[in-house]
Amino acid sequence: MKIRNSLRSAKTRHKDCRIIRRKGRVYIINKTNPRFKARQG
């Protein structure tokens, strides 16, 4: 999992990326390709 300042660039890398907010943090998860995980905050 990468910790990034901007998740917009991470979301455009793959079509299956989803942005999810949990506990004040923003996550990108990808079911088909799990290495595209990222966190912000």
Per residue in 1-41, pLDDT (tens digit) is 888 888 888 778 788 888 899 999 999 988 888 888 899 88
Residues of the domain holding 34: 2-40
Query: Cβ distance 11 to 28 under 8 Å?
Result: yes
| Alpha-carbon gap, residue 8 to 20, rounded angstroms | 13
- The number of C-alpha atoms within 13 Å of 31 and in the hemisphere containing its C-beta is 3
The total of structural domains in the chain comes to 1
Q: Which residues, 6 or more positions from 10, have their beta carbon under 8 angstroms from its beta carbon?
A: 2, 4, 17, 28, 36, 38
Question: In 1-41, where does DSSP find H-type helix?
Answer: 8-11
pLDDT of residue 22: 92
